[in-house]
Structure 1
Amino acid sequence: MESYIGFADRLSAWFGKVFAWSILIMTIGVTYEVIVRYLFRAPTPWAFDLSYMMYGTLFMMAGAYTLSRDGHVRGDFLYRLWRPRTQARVELVLYILFFFPGVIALVVTGWRYAARSWRYLEVSTMSPANIPIYQFKSVIAAAGILLFLQGVAQVFRAIICLRTGAWPPHAADVEETEKLLMETKSLAALEHGSEAVDIPSGYGAEDRKDGKRP
């Protein structure tokens, strides 16, 4: 199970980092559009299509990466108070009852949706440039497959936690700005021998029994 978790995390991270470049493409496209529209009075017919395609692709393909880093939003005002084994039991039930049925439906429906679009090489009816969108619709099924693979890894994490009483650590290659600022303030207080900086409980992995961020 641990080897599969490592494989799924690396796969999700690779796709997440590759498609993160969509932000740069979208930024360049929007910047170009603003320049030619307002300085040269020559708006493009494709900038809007490019922006929503890149944003949609990034949103979909980053889902598995975010899941592998335990970065999805969770209403955890009760969850954080439970012991790791209780958290694992609840997560296991929720993954089986809700996550996998939803993701399987996403893959099946997205595959049919994309296949129909590929058959007649669909273009956007809302675009004056007739931008092709059949390849864009393929992202739906691809994102669902990645989520399914990562979801299996999350189930394995829950099983390991049930056995050991501790969550396997999530890979962390990106830190939230808020967490970095709090750590910087804490370090500054220690260097000056002061306890003036009060860090609320709940910030930092050391305040959590399961090692997860709140």
Structure 2
Amino acid sequence: MDRIIRKFCNGVETVAAVLIACVTLLIVASAIGRYVFASPVPDAFDISRLLLGACIMWGFAVVGYRGGHISVDLFTLGLPDGARRWIEVFAWTVLLFFVILLAWKMQARVGNAMRGNETTFDLRLPVWPLLGLIWLGAVASIGTVCARIFMLATGRADIEGGTDDASIDRSMGQ
């Protein structure tokens, strides 16, 4: 099970990396086009902002599994490890609720853009595929947050930090 989760999360990380590379290339190409050739890439703003939204959601999916976000544990620091672990599980479950809400609302946004034939400004490209990519990032976040909850509840993840591959290997007896 751990290997499946790890492969899924590695795939999510790859998607996030490819998206950020696309955003970077698009912005650089548009800037060069604007300042060297006096002609920016058409729809670079619309496409880059939508791709950046996808980068954020897919990056959030990675954080959902790794647990690499900034946190302050003033209340739980003095508690026993078992209590701290279940407080973490509860906190991640609350996060899961909000991620599910975000995915649900994002799915509605994709549907509205599709039905309304929403397009970009210059080239009139439909925006729903890029919004769908953002929605898929939210769905991936649901999967990674569920994986994080599972890892915390079964003791396969550290309470304080993220799930690193070494701690997974130790829990599997390797």
Task: Report the TM-score range of the alignment, normalised by the length of the smaller protein.
Answer: 0.7 to 0.9
Residue pair 1:16, 1:62 contacting (<8 A) in 2 also:
yes
How many residues of Structure 1 are paired with residues of Structure 2 in the alignment?
Answer: 165
Instruction: Note the residue ranges of structure 2 that are not aligned, 5 or more in a row.
Output: 168-174
Instruction: Confirm whether residue 64 of structure 1 aligns to residue 61 of structure 2.
Output: yes
Within the candidate set 36, 40, 46, 1:39 is matched to: 36
Within the candidate set 92, 104, 112, 2:108 is matched to: 112
Within the candidate set 135, 141, 148, 1:147 is matched to: 141
Within the candidate set 19, 23, 40, 1:22 is matched to: 19
Give the alignment's TM-score, normalised by structure 1: 0.65
Aligned-pair CA distance for 1:45: 2.6
CA distance in 1, matches of 2:134, 2:47: 17
CA distance in 1, matches of 2:146, 2:68: 17
Matching residue's letter, 1:62: G
Instruction: Confirm whether residue 170 of structure 1 aligns to residue 163 of structure 2.
Output: yes
CA distance in 1, matches of 2:103, 2:27: 31
Residue pair 1:33, 1:47 contacting (<8 A) in 2 also:
yes
Q: Which has the larger radius of gyration?
A: 1
Aligned-pair CA distance for 1:133: 0.8
User: Using CA pairs below 8 Å that are at least 6 residues apart, which structure has the higher relative contact order?
Assistant: 2
Instruction: Confirm whether residue 49 of structure 1 aligns to residue 42 of structure 2.
Output: no
Aligned-pair CA distance for 1:90: 0.7
Matching residue's letter, 1:23: I
Instruction: Note the residue ranges of structure 1 that are not aligned, 5 or more in a row.
Output: 174-204, 206-214
CA distance in 2, matches of 1:71, 1:145: 19
**Residue aligned with 1:62, SS:** helix
Residue pair 2:57, 2:141 contacting (<8 A) in 1 also:
no
**Residue aligned with 2:154, SS:** helix
